[in-house]
């Protein structure tokens, strides 16, 4: 897993509440056995018309957000069924962090386990970022995990909190396997002493 320390990127506004995981990555794409290649299916039903042509009215297709790596979203982002494919699709598309006032619990934890940083801010702070991102395509924020702040270099700054253990894991790029491998020497010693 890639470490997350500081990220500056263009913000894409997803001005919808209760965006569920079936919209993030529709169920028909969950049959794949690979863990890669989900970026093409991100928001598929909103991104494309039935004939496969791009939906020019969907924000991900707006030219000003093509390079976005930060998403600001409405409350309860990632609700619905539990699927790790949702953070995979977001991350593989190029998003490094999602900012919202609230997230569904399973989605939130799946993001953390996969190196995608979910940032909880107040409704007021989310509204500020949302308005800026909509009015000024190309608007950027910096998300600093070391200081747990989001800022835009134009006077806006907001603090967020994150469980210290999860923060440590993200800062060091450690998923469950990475954490276990930190003890590889002790594991090898233990295994060598077993009958």
All structural domains of the chain: 6-193 (3.20.19.10)
Among 132, 21, 12, 144, CA closest to 84 = 21
pLDDT category, 180, cuts 50, 70, 90?
confident
Better-scored residue on pLDDT, 126 or 153: 126
Q: What tokens were used for 159?
A: 């603090």
Segment 29-51 mean pLDDT: 92
- Judged against a pLDDT cut of 90, whether residue 182 lies above it is answered with no
Instruction: Quote the pTM value.
Output: 0.92
Q: 55-59: long-range contacts (C-beta < 8 A, 24 or more apart)?
A: 59/12, 59/13, 59/14, 59/15
* Interval 43-97: pLDDT, tens: 999 999 999 999 999 999 999 998 999 999 999 999 998 889 999 999 999 999 9
Instruction: Give the rounded percent of residues in the chain with a pLDDT score beyond 90.
Output: 81
């Amino acid at each position: 897993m890639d470490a997350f320390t500081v990220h500056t990127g263009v913000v894409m506004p997803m001005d919808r509440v209760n965006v569920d995981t079936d919209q993030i990555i529709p169920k028909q794409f969950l049959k794949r056995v690979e863990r890669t290649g989900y970026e093409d299916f991100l928001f598929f039903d909103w991104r494309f018309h039935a004939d496969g042509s791009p939906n020019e009215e969907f924000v991900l297709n707006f030219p000003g957000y093509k390079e976005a790596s930060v998403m600001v979203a409405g409350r309860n982002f990632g609700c619905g069924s539990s699927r790790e494919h949702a953070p995979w699709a977001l991350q593989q598309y190029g998003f490094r962090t999602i900012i919202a006032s609230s997230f569904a619990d399973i989605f939130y934890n799946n993001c953390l386990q996969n190196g995608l940083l979910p940032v909880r801010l107040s409704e007021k702070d989310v509204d500020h970022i949302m308005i800026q991102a909509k009015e000024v395509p190309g608007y950027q924020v910096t998300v600093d995990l070391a200081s747990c702040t989001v800022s835009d270099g134009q006077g806006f700054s907001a603090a967020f909190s994150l469980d210290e253990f999860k923060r440590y894991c993200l800062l060091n790029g450690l998923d469950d396997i990475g954490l276990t491998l930190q003890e590889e020497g002790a594991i090898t010693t233990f295994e060598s002493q077993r009958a």
